Structure 1
């Protein structure tokens, strides 16, 4: 186009030349000037043409490069993407303020756990007669539990625990029993077990475990001591679990659960504090006992703000401890009055001679409706006296006892006790607004009441009967859940112990008491 314009301009100049000759000579200068301008335009045209060509080539190269990049990107998109391997190391978390260290894949973990229950209180104790034993109960304090240990897992399915309890110190005059500290307290290895949870039959989960552990027998015992409603469990349940279950117990067994149902069975041995030796040193050695427990329970009805729990339990003492020196084979049923400030037991069968075994059968029920919680259990005891020890009494019939409790609570701040299917028991309260002066929260507040009874009398007025006494205790409680890890408990107890001096003596050696106690609890 530029060349066409130039040609047209030259043509016009050629046409104008003849006319210029006809004009005066002065026009020659003008013609010369025009020729000079045309020459300059031609040079400028050449430069523009070269610049245009260079720009076109550069643009073409850029387009080619972009196309090549796009083609390479499309080709790479079809190849697998290489992902950098996960960073090695550990992950530190604080679930429920419990320090926990896990590998990055969460297959191996170790946690630090602890609980401290510190009690203080006093009694207003009234023996019925001068023949009542004891004549007084001591006020004071008790480091009820002081546990520290580790929980963990490895390879995802293997779980373990090692927990030691330094608690059990007690003011009072309870004496020392095998496996006990002065004053009646117990201390030692509370948990040391291994559990495998890799099996998941019938759409649920299963644990196979063994070692030293707290056996989940009965509803109250399956509830953590951090979550029980009162400072102590009811006497009927404590007496039952002490026969062949409870804390510090050696065991091996299994349990299965899903969201609705729980079932388990365990064989059991002695506790960690039991003395079992064939030597004749003082105190004389005894053979190890063994027994078994079974439980079936579940949350048969549940909804957003309600639930109903039912269950049944069985316990068998198959081989009672046998004294290798004296030949005695005995079983003792006893408990302190649902408080551990003074370690004295007010009801006791004493050592039942020639005990060849014992059985306990019980039922359990509980329900929640919003902030309301109801729970109860009842127990039937049977002690067989058919052991061939060569010691009296000979041919004595079996003994039968019974007892139970019913309790209720209401959370004033509206929280509810949630259900834990893995234990078939209820959790403690997690405050919606933990106590905080800065945040304005006041924690959760709960009021509670319980009535419990245990009857350890049987075959009275006979020489082979047992006058262990009948105990009824009414308890009122106030619980303040400061946060998920701190709780304060205030309990008032009124107890009545009806007891006669011997099976064949109606002399009254019973007592009455009132007690007030407080617990400071810290746990994670």
Structure 2
């Protein structure tokens, strides 16, 4: 109760006391005084009531203010708690005043508009190999006589990928690698140097394509694309070189792809996929490293080739801890490369022994003359169960030699070759290879505990084994036959996934090559080799 109210009550009590103790007056005078005092007392009571109401209102206002203050404190505490929780979550990236979002998915620098409709990212990979061979017999009759130890910057790619208007995708990637593979695969005068694969690994434009993914027919996704690209033909080739179990893919697949598919290939076509099925087909041309000109000098007047590939594959059986993949492939070389001066149409099938430290080929058909076309048919299968993965492919080759070039041999029968591989892998640390429906292949390993000296992580560890075989012999003991050799390679691998971007690969290879000096020769020019190689891989 306030001081004003207390004073008023005191005055009222005093007046009441005065009335009680004052001497008696005349009746009329006393009545008048009593009436006056009653009136004054009533006014005081009214004043007291008014003061009481003001005091109650002030108390209510103070209580409300106190409640608001407590609510504000609680809200601030909640906001602080949320902020602390959000601080532990991955940050997509700051939004600049222009509406641009900067992020680092898988440590790849990426810039997108705020609506995520337009993005551009910097991508790259470095695969650096070192290794050595034990090659035998090292004699004057052996071809080649030895394989050189050394190193090879196998891949050194840098470029950009991205999208615009949500449905248009693009890539422009250049490969500076191949320090031991040779550049362009041709000599100064246009002839393939000894031991090099014509049209094989080159330094140059590896990807330069545009893809439209706006169509989504039949409940799946679809891409229409063209340019220079890595064709998703065969399962091994559809697996990124960042994710393959071994340093190199099996020779049978490489030889098949080099005819009209593979890396650096110009192509136009389409693919469709959903969670269980992938179907695609492309018209293909030369690789980006090829030179085609009517000139007789550069390089001997070579015309463009063209062909086509189709693939159908899928993942019909899958569950939480298992999956099964099956597929089939076909490839056609419709127009082989032609020398516009001599009219010769030739095709060479060859590969290095599943390692690229020394670029020498141990099996090769040489230049097959009068090639009018070629076909390759293949099957593929794979399965996973927990941390275990198994995969295999097999290919049948048919080379037609009926081109009307006016050059011998005339009317030679078609050549038939075959080859394949089978491989298994097991992740010791428990991670699994996830299936990628967009490529109909299995991806790589992302370690659950990346290497960290502070956190104690040791990354992921994987062991793998493979046996591969390629037969480039046909119609032996005849003048029209080809003695390209039969190669079998056994490979054991240990892979250490340090982080999601860094991997070390240690491979041991044992190979045997059975080869005649010529189709009609009985001289055995076969050989054996052992090799150990280490790859340091960085990719983003």
TM-score (norm 2): 0.83
Aligned to 1:228: 244
| Superposed CA RMSD | 3.2
1:161 correspondence with 2:158: no
Q: 1:171, CA displacement in angstroms? A: 7.9
* Counterpart in the other structure of 2:24: 27
1:472 aligns to what?
488
Equivalent of 1:39, from 36, 39, 42?
A: 36
* Match in the other structure for 1:93: 103
Deviation at 1:510, TM superposition (A): 1.2
Query: Which of 332, 337, 340 is the aligned partner of 2:348?
Result: 332
Change beyond 3 A, Cα 1:500–1:56: same
* 1:149 partnered with 2:159: yes
Q: 2:418 aligns with which of 394, 399, 402?
A: 402
> After TM superposition, which residue ranges in structure 1, 4 or more long, deviate above 4 angstroms?
29-38, 47-57, 171-185
2: CA distance, partners of 1:394 / 1:182: 27
Q: Deviations over 1:437-495 (max 9, x none)?
A: 11111111000000000000000000000000000000000000011111000000000
Offset of 1:27 from its aligned partner? 2.9
Number of aligned residue pairs: give it. Answer: 482
Residue segments in structure 1 that go unaligned for 5+ positions in a row: 1-5, 60-85
SS at match of 1:247: coil
SS in 1 for 2:522: strand
Map residues 383-394 of structure 1 onto 2, 5 A cutoff: 383-394=399-410
* Range with bigger deviation, 27-36 or 248-257: 27-36
**Structure 2 counterpart SS, 1:502:** coil
- Report 1:420-439 matches (<5 A): 420-439=436-455
Is 1:246 the counterpart of 2:256? The answer is: no
Distance in 2 (alpha carbons) for counterparts of 1:305 and 1:329: 50
Whether 1:281 and 2:278 are equivalent positions in the alignment is no
The answer for the alignment partner of 1:483 in structure 2 is 499
For structure 2, the 5+ residue unaligned runs are 1-11, 57-95
Deviations 1:204-235 (A, max 9, x none): 00000000000000000000000001000000
Partner of 1:207: 223
Residue 527 of structure 2 corresponds to residue 511 of structure 1: yes
8 A contact 2:24–2:30 mirrored in 1:
no
Quote the Cα distance in structure 2 between the aligned partners of 1:262 and 1:491.
32
- State the distance in 2 between where 1:181 and 1:119 align: 22
Q: Which residue of 2 aligns with 1:462?
A: 478
Cα 1:28/1:146, change in 2 over 3 Å: same
Matched, 1:216 2:232: yes
- The CA deviation at 1:106 is 0.6
> TM-score if structure 1 supplies the norm length?
0.86
In the alignment, the residues of structure 2 paired with residue 405 and residue 192 of structure 1 have an alpha-carbon distance, to the nearest angstrom, of 31
Paired residues of 1:250 and 1:272 also in contact (CA < 8 A): yes
SS in 1 for 2:237: helix
Look at both structures and tell me which one has the larger radius of gyration over its CA atoms.
1
Name the counterpart of 1:265: 281
- Deviation string 1:179-213 (CA, Å, 9 cap, x unpaired) is 99999561000000000000000000000000000
Q: What secondary structure, in the 3-state scheme, does the structure 1 residue paired with 2:24 have?
A: helix
Worse overlay, 390-399 or 31-40 = 31-40
Name the SS of the counterpart of 1:313 in structure 2.
strand
Judge conservation of contact 2:183–2:203 (CA < 8 Å) in 1: no
Does residue 193 of structure 1 match 2:203? Answer: no
Q: CA deviation at 1:118?
A: 0.3
State the secondary structure of the residue aligned to 2:341: coil
Asked if the contact 2:184–2:289 (Cα under 8 Å) also holds between the matched residues in 1, the reply is no
Distance of 2:116 and 2:522 partners within structure 1: 65
Tell whether the 8 Å contact from 2:138 to 2:146 is kept in structure 1 after alignment: no
